[in-house]
Amino acid sequence: MVIVETDYILALSSPEDKRHEEAAKILQRRAGELKLSPYTLVELDLLIRSNRIEVVIPDYYEGLAQLLEFYNIKVVKPAPRHLLVAWRLRDKYGLSYFDSLHAAVAIVEGEAIASYDEAYKRVKGLRYIHPSKL
């Protein structure tokens, strides 16, 4: 299993994204092997609320829910331990708030993280995979 986060969902969501085709191929090849960081849902909602991305609500969330269900992508259950580890990661590695949460999910759940954000490479104890390697 591999944890994916917001950048993967954004690439998958937008045909205009330069990584969209790759993200779609990964979805087809790795269906059932991907898990979504629960903090991606919060990050997406904040991006939408701040007008950083434009989507049609509620259609976007309905489509996302259907995609996750169809491809058997489980959303990891949020846990206080994620927050504890995220605090430590922000302190030690200077990760952004959401990057620290996504990394913490992968560490606590014992999974690798697949992301286009290479900031994860420098986190000891985290198995990072660039999506192109999936």
Q: What is the pLDDT of residues 73-123, one digit of tens each?
A: 999 999 999 999 999 999 999 999 999 999 999 999 999 999 999 999 999
User: What average pLDDT does the structure give for the chain?
Assistant: 97
Contact by Cβ (8 Å): 99, 123:
no
pLDDT value of residue 39: 98
* Mean pLDDT, rounded, for 32-41: 97
pLDDT value of residue 68: 97
pLDDT value of residue 62: 98
* Mean pLDDT, rounded, for 25-42: 96
Looking at the structure of the chain, the number of domains it has is 1
CATH number at residue 62: 3.40.50.1010
pLDDT value of residue 118: 95
Q: What is the pLDDT of residues 42-82, one digit of tens each?
A: 999 999 999 999 999 999 999 999 999 999 999 999 999 99
Query: Domain range holding 56?
Result: 2-133
pLDDT value of residue 88: 98
The string over 35-60, giving b where at least 16 C-beta atoms fall within 10 Å of a residue's C-beta and e elsewhere, is: bbbbbbbebbeebeeeeeeeeeeeee
Q: Take residue 55 and report the two structure tokens written for it.
A: 């989507």
pLDDT value of residue 11: 97
